[in-house]
Amino acid sequence: MTSIEPNLPVRVGVLHHHPLVALGLRAILTAQDGIQLQASGSLPQLQAWCDVMVCDLETGIAATRDRSNMGMLGASARVLVHTESASDFHVRHALSVGIHGYVVPGTSAAELLQGVRAVAAGQRYLSAAVAHRLAESLSYAALTPRESDVLTGLSGGQCNKLIARHLGISVTTVKAHVNAIMKKMSVESRTQAVSVAAQRGLVRIPSVRAHHSSVPSGAR
Amino acid sequence: MQHINAADRHHIRVQHADAVIAAGLIEAFAREPSLTAVDGCAEAADLIVCDFTTGLALSQSARSVDGSLRPARVLVLTGQDREYSVRQALQSGVHGYLLTDATLDELLDATRTVLQGRRFVSPQLAARMADSMTREALTAREIQVLEQLATGDGNREVARRLGIATGTVKTHVNAIMTKLAVTSRTHAVSVAAQRGLVDLSQRILH
C-alpha cells in the first residue's frame, strides 16, 4: 500500500512473541483515533489485512521477507518492530531488510502512536533512544566486514594465529586489521576493543539466554 | 470463578517506566478477580510491579526506613537478563525478578509467590544461576580486577588503581582465567560480558 487516505483509519495488527508486550501494545493501540486494531491472527492473515504490523524483531524480519517476496502481487503491511535489542548490529540489519519502524522499551505511548502513523504514511521511524544510538554509531568509523570478522575472532579469545587460520589470511594481515580496528574504535588494547564491541553491540555475540548452559567454544 | 472476599483481594501498584509493559501489566491483572491493579499511583499496595531501576530504588529506600511499616513487596519486570543485574536486584532486597518475555501464567505465578512472601526468579534465570553455581564463583576482588581489565588497562594500571602490587594483579588474572576456563585476558573479558558477570555499562563509553 503506497498511500493512506487521510480519513481512513490505519489498520494495525500486533504480533509479538512476548505476551505482556503484545497485551500492552493492544491496550495502547485500541480505541485510538484513526487507528483500527485488528483481531489477532497469523502472520499472513495480518499482513493481508493491515497497513502496519507491530511485531518483535524476528517476526518483523520474517514479515518484511514475505513483503518483498510478494512484490507487486498485493498490498502488504509495513512493519514496526518493538524489541529490546538496540545494538548497532540489529538496528542496521532491521533497516537493511526493509523494516520501517524500530522502537525499544522505554518508548512512550505517544511515541508509539507517532511511530505507527509515520510508518503507515511510508516514513521510517526510530524511537528517540534508537535514533540516539544510531547517531552515536555514526560518530565513529564503521568497521569493514573483514574487520568485523577479525573482531568476532578476538571476542572469542582467539590469538592472531588462530584468527589468521580461520579466515585464511596471513598473520600480518590480521595484525593490520587489529590495528585498524583499535584506531577506529579509539582504544589502546585488544581487550578494550572486545569490551567496547560488546558494549556497542558491534559483533554478534551468541545469545546467552538462548543457550544458557553453553560456554564459548574455545573455553571447553 | 469463585467469590473473592475483600480481605483476600490484593492491591498491586504498577510503576513501570515502559508504557507498553505498564499497559500490558494492567491488562493482565485486570483479568484476575483476586487482584486489583492501579497504574503509578501512591496508594497503599501489597505489591509493586516495576522496572529494574525503580525496583532497586524502592527496595533500597524501604530498607533505610527500618521497617516500622511493612513495605510493599517489589516484583521487577525487566529485559536485563545478566547475572550481574539479577544478583544486584536480589541483594538490594527485590522479592521477585521476572523477564519481560514471561508468559501471563508466569506473571501470575510470580505475583502470587511474592505476595505469599517468597522470592521468585524467572525459570530461565534460575536455571542460569544454578548453572553458574556449578562453576567456581569469582571473588569480589577478582570481579574488580576483571572490570579494570575490560577498560583495557595493563596489570600495572590495575595495580595502581586498586592499590595492590602488580604481582597480586597477575595472580588474580591467572585465577580469573582458570575459573573462566579461558587462555587469554581478552577472552576473559569477552566471556564476562556474555555471562553478565561484570557491569560494563558505565566504564567504557567514551
- Using the beta-carbon criterion (under 8 Å), do A212 and B128 form an inter-chain contact? yes
Identical fold between B6-132 and B140-195: no
Q: Which residues are within 8 A (CB) of A141 and not within 5 positions of it... i.e. 6 or more apart? A: A184
pLDDT of residue A70: 58
Interface-testing mutation among A191, A202, A204, A213, with chain B (most B C-beta atoms within 10 A): A191
Which of these, A74, A26, A65, lies nearest to A43 by C-alpha position? A65
pLDDT of residue A47: 85
Please name the residue of chain A whose CA is at the shortest distance from the CA of residue B204: A196
- Residue range A33-66, pLDDT digits in tens: 889 998 888 888 888 889 999 999 999 998 888 6
pLDDT of residue A141: 74
- Residue range A176-217, pLDDT digits in tens: 999 999 998 888 888 888 888 887 777 765 444 333 333 343
The domain segmentation of chain A, as residue ranges, is 10-137, 145-219
| Mean pLDDT score across all residues of chain A | 82
Q: Are B188 and B180 in contact (CB under 8 A)?
A: yes
Does residue A69 carry a pLDDT above 90? no
- Residue range B56-96, pLDDT digits in tens: 998 877 665 555 456 789 999 998 888 888 888 998 899 99
Vertex A117 angle, CA A75 and B99, to 5°: 100
pLDDT of residue B206: 33
- Using the beta-carbon criterion (under 8 Å), do A209 and B181 form an inter-chain contact? no
Does residue A173 carry a pLDDT above 90? yes
pLDDT of residue A208: 40
CATH topology of domain B6-132: Rossmann fold (3.40.50)
pLDDT band (50, 70, 90) for residue B5: low
Other beta carbons within 10 Å of B6: 5
Give the mean model confidence (pLDDT) for residues A7-28.
Answer: 92
Which of these, A52, A216, A44, A218, lies nearest to B193 by C-alpha position? A216
pLDDT of residue B129: 82
For residue A123, CA distances in Å to A73, A82, A102, A205 come to: 21, 16, 12, 31
Does residue B7 carry a pLDDT above 70? no
CATH of segment(s) B140-195: 1.10.10.10
C-alpha cell at A93: 540489519
Give the mean model confidence (pLDDT) for residues A74-86.
Answer: 83
pLDDT band (50, 70, 90) for residue B202: very low
- Using the beta-carbon criterion (under 8 Å), do A190 and B81 form an inter-chain contact? no
- Residue range B92-125, pLDDT digits in tens: 899 999 999 999 999 999 999 999 999 999 988 8
pLDDT of residue B124: 86
Nearest-CA distance A74 → chain B (Å): 31
| Mean pLDDT score across all residues of chain B | 84
Does residue B50 carry a pLDDT above 80? yes
Q: Are A155 and A205 in contact (CB under 8 A)?
A: yes
pLDDT of residue A199: 76
Which of these, B117, B123, B129, lies nearest to B98 by C-alpha position? B123
C-alpha cell at B187: 577472552
pLDDT of residue B76: 96
Q: Which residues are within 8 A (CB) of A39 and not within 5 positions of it... i.e. 6 or more apart? A: none
Nearest-CA distance B62 → chain A (Å): 25
Q: Are A83 and A127 in contact (CB under 8 A)?
A: no
CATH 1.10.3720.10 fits A145-219, yes or no: no
Q: Are strands A52-55 and A101-103 parallel, antiparallel or unpaired?
A: unpaired
Alpha-carbon dihedral angle through residues B1, B5, B6, B11, given to the nearest 10 degrees? -50
- Using the beta-carbon criterion (under 8 Å), do A23 and B27 form an inter-chain contact? yes
- CATH class label, A10-137: alpha beta
Helix (H, G, I), strand (E, B) or coil at B13: strand
The domain segmentation of chain B, as residue ranges, is 6-132, 140-195
